[in-house]
């Protein structure tokens, strides 16, 4: 399509303002005004290395205090045109229509671009919502159509950018000459910078290790192949907005995402569209990959130089077999990191308004599982429960009766409160409540097909049972428990 055709096509919306980045280092920027509007603009300009000058005959205390703190000069004179002399930019921020108009007219007469706060008709330029990771700047504008929208967009973008982005860009600038000398222009150079900004140098800067970042850049420049990296990332309990910002960022950078059965599609979909996805589900009863195979897969991907996200439900270090994966990676010399996530017990507690620790009632907490029996017997966390600990049982549906019996035998009252959540944090979650005596009934509930978290203890009595239904009882298991209790 020719340029003319493109320009005249009805879909192309033209901007009435055109974003540029203006050099202001050492240039004078004048703000005229005493109050909040002037302070807001002064703050904005102070993010640059411009020479800021505020003209305010009677500055309000907030402006005065800020100027003091930031070493900004206030000219305490009534405004006159000569105050604008030599300025590169002018802000009319007095809050008074007449004075702002005068400042704007004076600026225009002197050919200085001017912005008048909240008076678009007087503006030559607008100030963007700004994300400052100097030297990286992201400016968002709406031509005044929606300043609040600009702020919303700003915070969304801000969230996904690593805090150390500025330092990384500075590092890149210091390597630019060397790269241009050594790496041929075109695909090779693009690949170099991609590995620089998303690979080892970026990781080292993010970890605050600038010396290592320098070394990594040097290695990259010497032509060493990019090293792989595996992030063991907690995906949270299921709801895609319960993952951390770091997890989100890593997902968007990953070449490969290796995910578990419990991680919903919506969370995996936060990754790049062209990322390779590998399902490593290990659902009870249908093992699609053994733990050893997963360990080997991660090592192999790391050795191939891939950036891998190993996505696990909840927190990777809670019943996630991350220990084995980390050991395999360490042994193979593949670098890795761990990103925590919201574990299922916390999500279940939140769904139930359930305080896991409660002053004077519960001051410790047990994360346990209904499986993983050592020598056929449950480990002895029951005593802790008797001392008031809140017990969170992972994978506890199919042996709920055994868990209940274990606690009962240890002497925990059958009246102790129990809360159960299926699919915690998700819209289709289901909540159940009851007592320890009811717990065995869970085993016979064929309708519970999602993951189930059980929380037991006196603190559970403080939960909100308005959205929950009773746990159904199952005769067999219950009588077994009752026999034990008798
Ligand atoms: N690493 C995970 C736990 C993995 S073990 C974490 O920190 O949460 C798998 C068990 O976690 C399930 O059997 C179930 O007991 C629990 N679980 C995981 N997600 C859950 C959810 N959304 N609701 C309830 N329980 C959940």
User: What is the percent of the chain where pLDDT is above 90?
Assistant: 79
Q: What is the pLDDT of residues 140-181, one digit of tens each?
A: 999 888 889 999 999 999 988 888 999 999 999 999 999 999
Residue 355, judged by CB atoms within 10 A of its CB (0-12, 13-18, 19+), counts as middle
199 lines ligand 1 (CB under 6 A): no
What's the whole-model pTM score? 0.78
- Atom of ligand 1 at shortest range from CA of 394: 15
- Please tell me which residue in 36, 282, 289, 480 is annotated as part of the active site: 282
425 lines ligand 1 (CB under 6 A): yes
Q: What is the pLDDT of residues 300-333, one digit of tens each?
A: 999 998 999 999 999 999 999 999 999 999 999 9
What is the SS3 assignment for 140?
strand
- Please tell me which residue in 100, 106, 260, 458 is annotated as part of the active site: 260
Active site residue 282: yes
C-alpha torsion sign, points 418, 423, 425, 427 = negative
235 lines ligand 1 (CB under 6 A): no
* Ligand 1: centre distance to CA 451 (Å): 6
Active site residue 260: yes
Average pLDDT for 473-477:
46
- Atom of ligand 1 at shortest range from CA of 342: 7
- The CA distance from 198 to 228, in Å, is 11
Residue 438 DSSP class: G
Q: What is the pLDDT of residue 147?
A: 86
Distances, alpha carbon 227 to alpha carbons 211, 306, 335, 354, in Å:
17, 7, 8, 45
Query: Of 20, 76, 35, which is closest to residue 53 (Cα–Cα)?
Result: 76
424 lines ligand 1 (CB under 6 A): yes
Six-digit token pair at 170? 């500075």
Q: How confident is the model at residue 223 (pLDDT cuts 50, 70, 90)?
A: confident
- The CA distance from 51 to 223, in Å, is 44
The contacts of residue 23 (CB under 8 Å, 6+ apart) are: none
Q: What is the pLDDT of residue 241?
A: 93
Q: Report the DSSP beta bridge partners of residue 311.
A: 233, 259
Q: What is the mean pLDDT of the chain?
A: 91
346 lines ligand 1 (CB under 6 A): no
């Amino acid at each position: 399509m020719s340029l003319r055709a493109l320009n005249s096509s009805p879909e192309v919306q033209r901007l009435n303002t055109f974003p540029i980045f203006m050099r202001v280092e050492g240039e004078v920027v004048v703000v005229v005004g005493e109050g909040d509007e002037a302070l807001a603009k002064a703050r904005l300009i102070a993010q640059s290395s411009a020479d800021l000058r505020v003209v305010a005959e009677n500055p309000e205390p907030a402006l005065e205090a800020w100027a003091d703190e930031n070493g900004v000069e206030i000219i305490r004179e009534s405004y006159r045109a000569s105050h604008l002399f030599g300025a590169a930019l002018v802000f009319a921020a007095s809050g008074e229509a007449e004075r702002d108009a005068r400042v704007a007219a004076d600026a225009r007469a002197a050919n200085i671009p001017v912005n008048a706060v909240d008076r678009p008709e007087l503006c030559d330029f607008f100030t963007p919502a700004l994300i400052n990771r100097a030297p990286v700047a992201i400016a968002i504008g709406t031509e005044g159509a929606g300043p609040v929208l600009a702020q919303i967009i700003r915070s969304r973008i801000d969230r996904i950018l690593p805090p150390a982005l500025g330092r990384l860009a500075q590092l890149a600038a210091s390597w630019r000459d060397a790269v241009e000398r050594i790496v041929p222009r075109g695909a090779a150079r693009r690949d170099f910078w991609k590995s620089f900004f998303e690979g080892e140098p970026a990781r080292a800067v993010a970890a605050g290790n600038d010396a290592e970042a320098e070394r990594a850049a040097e290695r990259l420049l010497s032509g060493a192949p990019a090293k792989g990296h595996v992030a063991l990332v907690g995906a949270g309990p299921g709801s895609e907005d319960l993952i951390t910002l770091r997890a989100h960022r890593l997902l968007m950078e990953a070449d490969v995402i290796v995910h578990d059965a419990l991680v919903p599609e919506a969370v995996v979909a936060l990754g790049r569209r062209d990322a390779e996805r590998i399902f490593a589900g290990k659902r009870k009863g249908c093992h699609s990959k053994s733990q050893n195979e997963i360990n080997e897969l991660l090592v192999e991907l790391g050795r191939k130089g891939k950036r891998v996200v190993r996505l696990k439900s909840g927190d990777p270090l809670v019943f996630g077999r991350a220990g084995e994966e980390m050991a395999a990676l360490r042994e193979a010399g593949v670098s890795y990191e761990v990103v925590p996530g919201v574990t299922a017990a916390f999500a279940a507690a939140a769904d139930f308004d359930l305080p896991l620790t409660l002053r004077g009632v519960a001051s410790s907490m047990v994360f346990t599982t209904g499986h993983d029996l050592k020598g056929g017997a449950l480990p002895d966390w029951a005593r802790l429960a008797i001392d008031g600990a809140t017990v969170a049982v992972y994978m506890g549906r199919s042996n709920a009766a055994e868990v209940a019996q274990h606690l009962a035998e240890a002497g925990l009252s059958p009246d102790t409160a129990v809360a159960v959540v299926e699919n915690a944090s998700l819209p289709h979650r289901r909540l159940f409540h009851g007592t320890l005596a009811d717990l065995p009934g869970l085993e016979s509930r064929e309708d519970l097909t999602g993951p189930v978290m059980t929380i037991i203890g006196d603190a559970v009595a403080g939960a909100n049972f308005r959205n929950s239904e009773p746990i159904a009882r199952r005769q067999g298991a219950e009588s077994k428990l009752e026999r034990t209790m008798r």
